[in-house]
């Protein structure tokens, strides 16, 4: 096990009706004037935004509103949010929505406290030294941004999708009410579930030996997702299944399941090019990329993929030919993804094989390589996209 630090000081309020306490938590964590940041659509239609505004009014907390966050949130709105916060003297940002609203709020929070261009934090030019405090009211179980110090933004100039990470942007509080996710369409629900599984898998496939506790915790989250996701696809109003998924989504990404071990994250990088270019759901892109990444790298450590197959999918171990078990585990994952309505190929996602050179170019490693479970160069990235572009998948 590697040395590590773990610090997850977010206050989580979980369950029915918790959003009425937003004002109480804003005050507890020092907010006196708030930016409400959200997308639009269901947050407005469902009456959630109005309920939150009423709660803040009752607590006499002034606020300004900035809606319009899009999936794969854009830099343009971040710049606008930074201006609004400065002009209005905002000292707390409350994101209402899913990972996009939260990630956009985090970007604004860092940008307000920085003299330069906020994009510096996303292109690696600078590290944030401060940020406005952020709270969240989560409406989609997926990104895990409600408990993480991460944010992903797409720069409109060039459609570059990049991530930033800092302890300064861990939310001060996050309100998780599973009821708020019940109106989410099946496809978005499944894409969110896929993202949660991917957050675990990026940590699970590691070269660090002797990490039984985090192995087991990773498997616990995956087993939960495998059981609960089909239940909410079958019955969107299943509160308990929604609740299990929502908490699993936080556990999957605040790093409690990932400490002390090297992690991978290449599937996320490879997917980011797809959602940036085609504006597809991040989770749907991951459903295509991740199993193909697995297939491409499995020979690096067949035993780890056998552990995945036997412990997560409860497949029998083929001791005569472990590779068969490893491959069966990957295909079991694919079958599960298909069962919840996720795409498995470029064609099903709406991506095109002829774009592969462009995707590899934007991935941007040039002649270098990207680290992780297996180091990949641009030829490897090309090969993985090629696997994604197959029309049929052998054995499925």
Query: Footprint of its own copies on this chain (CB under 8 A)?
Result: 1-18, 178, 209-214, 216-217, 219-221, 223-224, 227-228, 240-241, 243-244, 247-248, 251, 256, 259-260
- Token pair of 227, please? 């059981």
Question: Which C-beta is closer to its own copies: that of 61 or that of 211?
Answer: 211
Residues 6 or more apart whose Cβ sits within 8 Å of residue 61: 23, 26, 27, 31, 32, 33, 34
Question: Which C-beta is closer to its own copies: that of 3 or that of 392?
Answer: 3
Question: Angle CA(22)–CA(238)–CA(25) in degrees, nearest 5?
Answer: 10
In the complex, what is the shortest distance from the CB of residue 300 to its own copies, in angstroms, rounded to a whole number? Answer: 21
Question: Which C-beta is closer to its own copies: that of 43 or that of 251?
Answer: 251
Question: Which C-beta is closer to its own copies: that of 241 or that of 330?
Answer: 241
**Nearest in space to 102 (alpha carbons), one of 174, 157, 40:** 174
Cα 38 to Cα 137: distance, rounded to the nearest angstrom: 10
CA contacts within 13 A on the Cβ side of 40? 7
In the complex, what is the shortest distance from the CB of residue 89 to its own copies, in angstroms, rounded to a whole number? Answer: 28
Cα 294 to Cα 298: distance, rounded to the nearest angstrom: 6
Name residue, tokens 């959003």.
19
Eight-state DSSP code of residue 308: I
In the complex, what is the shortest distance from the CB of residue 40 to its own copies, in angstroms, rounded to a whole number? Answer: 28
Question: Strand 92-97 vs strand 34-38: parallel, antiparallel, or unpaired?
Answer: parallel
Question: Which C-beta is closer to its own copies: that of 9 or that of 366?
Answer: 9
Residues 6 or more apart whose Cβ sits within 8 Å of residue 328: 309, 313, 315, 318
Question: Which C-beta is closer to its own copies: that of 24 or that of 70?
Answer: 24
- Token pair of 97, please? 């929505």
In the complex, what is the shortest distance from the CB of residue 24 to its own copies, in angstroms, rounded to a whole number? Answer: 11
In the complex, what is the shortest distance from the CB of residue 196 to its own copies, in angstroms, rounded to a whole number? Answer: 11
Instruction: Give CA separation, 124 vs 163, 165, 166, 210, 268, in Å.
Output: 9, 10, 12, 32, 17
Question: Which C-beta is closer to its own copies: that of 183 or that of 223?
Answer: 223
In the complex, what is the shortest distance from the CB of residue 351 to its own copies, in angstroms, rounded to a whole number? Answer: 32
Question: Strand 376-377 vs strand 369-370: parallel, antiparallel, or unpaired?
Answer: antiparallel
In the complex, what is the shortest distance from the CB of residue 352 to its own copies, in angstroms, rounded to a whole number? Answer: 38
């Amino acid at each position: 096990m590697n040395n590590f630090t773990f610090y997850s000081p977010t206050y989580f309020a979980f369950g029915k009706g918790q959003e009425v306490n937003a004002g109480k938590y804003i005050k507890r964590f020092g907010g006196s004037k708030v930016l409400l940041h959200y997308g639009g659509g269901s947050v407005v239609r469902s009456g959630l935004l109005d309920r939150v505004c009423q709660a803040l009014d009752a607590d006499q907390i002034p606020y300004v509103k900035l809606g319009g966050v899009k999936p794969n949130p854009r830099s343009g709105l971040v710049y606008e949010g930074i201006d609004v916060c400065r002009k209005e003297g905002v000292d707390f940002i409350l994101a209402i929505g899913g990972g996009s609203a939260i990630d956009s709020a985090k970007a604004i929070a860092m940008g307000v406290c920085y003299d330069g261009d906020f994009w510096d934090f996303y292109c690696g030019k600078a590290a944030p030294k401060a940020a406005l405090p952020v709270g969240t009211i989560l409406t989609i179980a997926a990104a895990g941004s409600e408990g993480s110090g991460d944010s992903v933004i797409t720069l409109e100039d060039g459609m570059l999708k990049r991530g930033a990470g800092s302890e300064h942007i861990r939310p001060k509080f996050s309100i998780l009410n599973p009821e708020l996710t019940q109106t989410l369409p099946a496809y978005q629900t499944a894409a969110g579930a896929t993202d949660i599984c991917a957050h675990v898998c990026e940590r699970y496939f590691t070269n660090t030996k002797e990490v039984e506790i985090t192995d087991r915790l990773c498997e616990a989250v995956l087993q939960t997702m495998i059981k609960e996701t089909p239940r909410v696809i079958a019955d969107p109003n299943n509160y308990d299944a929604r609740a299990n998924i929502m908490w699993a989504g936080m556990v999957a990404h605040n790093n409690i399941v990932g400490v002390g071990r090297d992690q991978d994250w290449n599937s996320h990088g490879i997917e980011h090019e797809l959602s940036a270019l085609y504006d597809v759901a991040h989770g749907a892109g991951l459903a295509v990329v991740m199993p193909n990444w697995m297939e491409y790298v499995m020979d690096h450590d067949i035993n780890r993929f056998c552990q995945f197959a036997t412990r997560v999918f409860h497949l029998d171990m083929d001791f005569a030919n472990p590779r068969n078990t490893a491959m069966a585990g990957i295909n079991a994952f694919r079958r599960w993804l298909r069962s919840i309505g996720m795409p498995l190929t470029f064609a099903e996602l709406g991506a095109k094989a002829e774009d592969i050179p462009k995707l590899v170019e934007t991935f941007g490693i040039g002649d270098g390589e990207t680290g992780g479970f297996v180091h990949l160069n641009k030829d490897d990235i090309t090969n993985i996209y090629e696997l994604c572009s197959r029309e049929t998948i052998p054995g499925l």
